[in-house]
Amino acid sequence: MEMLPTSFISRRKNQKNWRFGFVSMKSWFSQTELLQYFNDFWFDSFNLRANLARFHRQPPSPKVNSQRPRASLSLSVNLDIVEEDKAWLKNSLVGQIANGVNYQCLKRGLIDSGVIFSGFRYMGASQALISFDYLKMALDLDSQAWKTYFEALTK
């Protein structure tokens, strides 16, 4: 007797609302003969359909690579800070933007109030970076604009 692997038999309902599914059988017929017999089999008006090629279950294949992936070694990056970058950072202020300030009018409002700066950039989290040619000029300004637009200014 030859063991037929688990085969699928259509799960469509017949007139008595019976369903058929995966089936394992032992038989002295070959697989092809057994499949032909199954396909010629009728339950009332229901024709049994067995399709080994389409519904044959494959055994799970063993894993090819048993080693777990590992992260690569971390590399350090050396950064050479140019003196110009240091000077730029020293000549900048970070301002915490006050509540209720219109972000679109902030830059224009600083210019209109007499603050002379070389760069202005929004940093997110209600902060702005204001760059000056000379920081002393910005600190000497006792402008009402600083109090209007910013809650705090830090170097």
The per-residue pLDDT for 1 is 47
Using CB atoms within 10 Å of the CB of residue 42, give its burial: 0 to 12 exposed, 13 to 18 middle, 19+ buried. exposed
Domain shared by 96 and 38, yes or no: no
The per-residue pLDDT for 19 is 64
Domain that holds residue 16: 2-55
Amino acid residing at 74 = S
Residues 6+ apart with CB under 8 A from 47: 39, 41
- SS3 per residue for 25-74: EEECCCHHHHHHHHHCCEECCEECCECHHHHCCCCCCCCCCCCCCCCCCC
Q: Which residues of the chain have pLDDT under 70?
A: 1-15, 18-28, 51-58, 66, 84, 137-142
The per-residue pLDDT for 131 is 83
Which of 55, 71, 93 represents a domain boundary (last residue)? 55
The per-residue pLDDT for 50 is 72
The per-residue pLDDT for 6 is 57
Residue 69 included in any domain: no
Give the CATH number of the domain where residue 105 resides. Answer: 3.30.70.330
Could you tell me if 97 and 152 are in contact, meaning their C-beta atoms sit under 8 angstroms apart?
no
Residue 70 included in any domain: no
The per-residue pLDDT for 22 is 59
Predicted model pTM: 0.42
Domain shared by 149 and 88, yes or no: yes
